[in-house]
Chain A
Amino acid sequence: MSQREFLRQMPGQAGSTLSPGLATRLHLDAPLLAALLLLMLGGLTVLYSAGGESLDLVFRQSLRFGAGLFAMFLLAQIPPRSYRFWAPFVYSAGLILLMLVLVMGVQAKGAQRWLHIPGLGRFQPAEIMKLGVPAMVAWYFSERTLPPRLLDVVAALVLLGLPAMLIGLQPDLGTAILIAASGLVVLFMAGLSWRLIAIAVILVVTAAPLMYYFVLHDYQRNRVDTFLNPEADPRGAGWNIIQSKTAIGSGGIQGKGWLDGTQSRLDFLPESSTDFILAVLGEEFGLVGISLLLVMYLVVVGRGFFISWQAQETFARLLAASLTMTFFIYVFVNIGMVSGILPVVGVPLPLISYGGTSIVTLLASFGMLMSVHTHRRLMSY
């Protein structure tokens, strides 16, 4: 064992043998959990203001956090080996459900995303795929030698492309891209050759204008137009982005103070408790608040990378890295869109935005991450 490898294995072993704390016994990762809880607490604080001091909203969000933490706890108990075993089944089931959505899904806001299950209510099969796709692609590579050969790359692209396409048909381009991205991250982490990466980047850049004209729906095209020039229709399509930039910019360094953000409190900022909640934070807590948020996210991402690095098996490694990176992509896309450097895509700000099933999925993914970390010692090969 090299010295590096010894050192790499030390902290985990030391941590678990020297102080078998409550967290470890429960298969939870204390630093990650602490960072997540801090983010959630901050999120509730901002949400209270964004929702017009509605305790009801905060309460319902807390319930979701509770459900999410419970899912996280459950998933942390399951060893990565089981994930690897179940990945193809979950993936296939998700694929079937996605097809069902297109056939018999429930319409809402012009898109068909929901599946109605009697007794359980409505849910979005796409949420399953947020975990299913990275798990599946990781499973695929765990069986093969790395770096992947071209055939493996094509196979992986099919595996991630199929669900992405089905979701894109709903249509839900944002989620489709993010799910594809989670699969691509696995591909990248698996050691996809730089040459292929370069070719892919060139392809995407040249294909983008073609996509704009031939693939995108009208409403999606409008979003891109608005992104490129929000001032063209300041009271219509450009309103959201102008108001959110105004909110953030007027916050300054120190912010206007909690509950004192005029942009959100006076309803100038649309979607202030959901997708655009960062603007509320930026307005009320200023650059200081946003920096703190970015630091917290970096802590989470850093811990995630650390867990991936320490993982002892290809599947766990790839899965952990993909989940971590996808989490960061959510953060980047949301903040980028709210601050006007990316087009408006319906992506919530992780752990801060008020919203449905995505919170549960997100916390569940951290449960898997914790599982990777806390079951490490028991594995051997």
Chain B
Amino acid sequence: MRRPLKLKDHHHEQRIFSLRLFVGALLVVVLTLVLFSRMIWLQVIEHNRYTTMSDNNRVQTQAVAPPRGLVTDRDGVILAENRPDFSLEVVIEQAGDLNALLKQLGKLVTLDDDDLERFEKRRHSPRRPWEPVPLRGRLTQEEIARIAVNQFRLPGVRIAADPIRHYPHGILFSHVLGYVNRINAQDLDNMSLDEQSNYAGTHFYGRNGIERFYEDRLHGKVGYRQVETNARGRILRVLDEQAPVPGKDLRLTLSMKVQKAAYDALGDRRGAVVAIDPRDSSVLAFVSRPGFDPNLFVTGISQKDYSAYRDDRDKPLFNRALQGRYPPGSTIKPFMGIAGLDAGVTTWDRTIFDPGYYQLEDNPHRYRDWKRWGHGRVDLHKAIEQSCDTYFYDLGFHLGIERIHKYLSEFSFGQPTGIDLDAESGGILPSKEWKRKVRRRPWFHGDTVNASIGQGFVLVTPLQMATATAILASHGKQVTPTLAAGEVHHTNRHDLVLKDPGNWDKMAAAMTQVTEGLHGTARAMARGAKYPIAAKSGTAQVFSVGQDETYNEKELAERLLDHALLIAFAPADHPAIAVGVLVENGRHGGSTAGPVARKVMDAWLLNDKGELDVPPSLLPPAKHAETP
């Protein structure tokens, strides 16, 4: 130590300190300016960007789904409505340990593998943070109570009430109404951008039937709501709102009463019934059995239920009335008769002799009549009443397939009827060209002969049967079956104007003999009827019988039995209903399908007291006042 410590140079130390203090103060000023300029950057230069970010944080635009339009029958009976459904949702971000939570929830409500699988799938599909993921729908009151009581130990679990579609009559209208179920990415992909934004808030989409065809009208227009949410997604207030335009209600032409009669009349048999009012083309009943419960599909059908439907050999998901294609059998005969008369091939007076079979001149093949020993001498009237095959073999052969095709096309055969449902089958009305194109074979006379009694290549849907019958009943005026009341659809078919319009009434009279005549094939259905019924029964072979075999129906498995068909309209003089009935493997049109058609016509034409009381047409002719 060169100098004593006690002798500190205070002035020197103070100078050093003052300088350092000055440097320190300078540093403070510089650093404060750094902070200040940072604030200028954030609050002045980048202000707009952060304002946007802040608004995006808190303001969310939510789409508000419009309430779906109701569907009623012609009398206002509700067929499809919206009901609140309570469903369990989980906000993943709040849930914490998800597995533990699901386990705990499993003790409070039933969660099957389907629920969990769907939940997993939805959980991993893109969604915005804090958006709840649905776990299970259709909570019972008891389950809601159990969740509510335990809410405090179930973080992130909420119960949501959303309107869902409900079909109060379930299976009764399944094939005509269709159903809605959850909209999926594919549905959205198939839409235009405008449509997509219109579905922004919608969870459901129409599948099949009326729900699909009138989707646009039932859906309505989406509304918007600007809401302020907090960081956890809770809505604090509504900033702006544009109400959705509710979907339009849809009144159908169907009549609950007629539909139910048709459904019940078919019973447990597989088949289809379509009833049309020929005066206004309205569809009164549209039944295909077996049906399905559309309510099962709405919130997502379970794999088990779906497999049960899919694997059922009775095919309950198949719309027989719209898509089932069956040989029309003898029900084609009245239309063949009209064609033959108008083409001049036959008259009411012309007769032929029926030995029980028909032979083409240069061919040994015998086209057999259903009556082995033949009908003897037959004119057109008797041929219709007794359903003589030989007469129509002959008539068809002389008409030729081109003329058959031309006339029958006007009855809607071989083309969709134009009903307001999607995916309608047009059946097959063969022609030479058709056979060459589809079958790559030339047309033979035998093909014409087979077609003349509704066998061979001819296939029709039950809807076509009813439509053709309605056209027949309205004397050739075109009928485009319509389900939505007030809708008018057009097809490219033309009204059929006969050279002798009197033939319409004469054909109706011949068909009335089918139900009233001594030898009529559908006598059973007219028993005790309060009005005349014009009908034609038919039997369509499912299984072709060899040339010289006799067939024993008892030996055939039930599913190989003939289909029973029947067309009818009533009252025969002033038709107000035309019906097509198909009963699969029902064997005899007259005895099996006839009573079904009768019950349907009674339901429409009789009042509650059982008196004939024809309901007015939906079209506004002045003489009809109002719906009773």
Contacts and interface: CB of A to CB of B under 8 A. Distances in A.
Nearest to A270: B231
A305 interface: yes
Contact of B50 (A246, A298, A305): A246
A306 B230 CA distance: 47
B129 A253 contact: no
Given A248-B42, A268-B230, A287-B43, A339 B35 contact: yes
A262 B58 contact: yes
Could you say which of B51, B53, B129 has the most chain A C-beta atoms within 10 Å of its C-beta? B53
Contact of A314 (B13, B53, B129, B236): B13
A320 B228 CA distance: 50
Interface string B526-556: 0000000000000000000000000000000
A168 interface: no
A339 B43 CA distance: 10
Contact of B43 (A253, A294, A336): A253
Contacts of A163: none
A314 B6 CA distance: 13
B57 A249 contact: no
Contact of B35 (A146, A247, A266, A332): A332
Interface string B30-41: 011011101110
B54 A247 contact: yes
Interface residues of B, number: 42
A287 B41 CA distance: 10
B13 A309 contact: no
Interface string A127-167: 00000000000000001111100000000000000000000
B13 A262 contact: no
A246 B230 contact: no
Interface in A303-340: 305, 308-309, 314, 317-318, 321, 325, 328, 332, 335-336, 339-340
A53 interface: no
Contacts of A251: 43
A263 interface: yes
A263 B39 CA distance: 17
B25 interface: yes
B229 interface: yes
B43 A266 contact: no
B28 A328 contact: yes
Contact of B39 (A185, A235, A339): A339
Interface stretch (B14-22, B256-264, B616-624): B14-22
A263 to B, nearest CB: 6
Contacts of A318: 17
Most buried by A among B29, B32, B129: B32
B54 A262 contact: yes
Contacts of B12: 146
Contacts of A267: 230-232
B403 to A, nearest CB: 75
A250 B32 contact: no
A305 B38 contact: no
Nearest to A248: B42
A185 B34 CA distance: 20
Nearest to A291: B36
Interface string A253-271: 1000000001100111000
Contact of B42 (A185, A245, A291): A245
Nearest to A339: B38
A185 B55 CA distance: 43
Given A248-B42, A249-B50, A341-B38, A321 B21 contact: yes
A140 to B, nearest CB: 13
Nearest to A336: B35
| Size bracket of the A interface | 35 or more
A248 B21 contact: no
Contacts of B46: 249
A123 B232 CA distance: 34
A220 to B, nearest CB: 23
A248 B43 contact: yes
Given A268-B230, A294-B32, A189 B50 contact: no
Given A249-B50, A341-B38, A305 B24 contact: yes
Interface string B212-230: 0000000000000000111
B25 A305 contact: yes
Given A314-B13, A341-B38, A263 B18 contact: no
Nearest to B8: A145
Contact of A145 (B9, B39, B40, B236): B9
A252 B24 contact: no
B5 interface: yes
A249 B43 contact: yes
Nearest to B1: A145
A359 B133 CA distance: 45
A263 B57 contact: yes
A341 B34 contact: yes
Nearest to B232: A267
Given A248-B42, A249-B43, A268-B230, A317 B17 contact: yes
B574 interface: no
A39 interface: no
Nearest to B39: A290
Interface in A341-376: 341
Given A188-B24, A298-B28, A321-B21, A246 B53 contact: yes
B228 A266 contact: yes
B21 A287 contact: no
11 contacts: A188-B24, A249-B47, A249-B51, A250-B55, A252-B47, A263-B57, A282-B43, A294-B35, A298-B32, A321-B21, A328-B31
Given A146-B17, A242-B53, A309-B21, 17 more contacts: A145-B5, A190-B17, A191-B13, A191-B17, A248-B43, A250-B47, A250-B53, A252-B43, A263-B54, A266-B236, A267-B232, A294-B32, A294-B35, A301-B25, A305-B24, A314-B17, A317-B17
Interface of A: 143-147, 185, 188-191, 235, 242-243, 245-253, 262-263, 266-268, 282, 286-287, 290-291, 294, 297-298, 301-302, 305, 308-309, 314, 317-318, 321, 325, 328, 332, 335-336, 339-341
Instruction: List the 6 closest pairs (A to B, CB-CB), nearest first.
Output: A249-B50, A250-B54, A266-B230, A191-B16, A267-B231, A249-B42
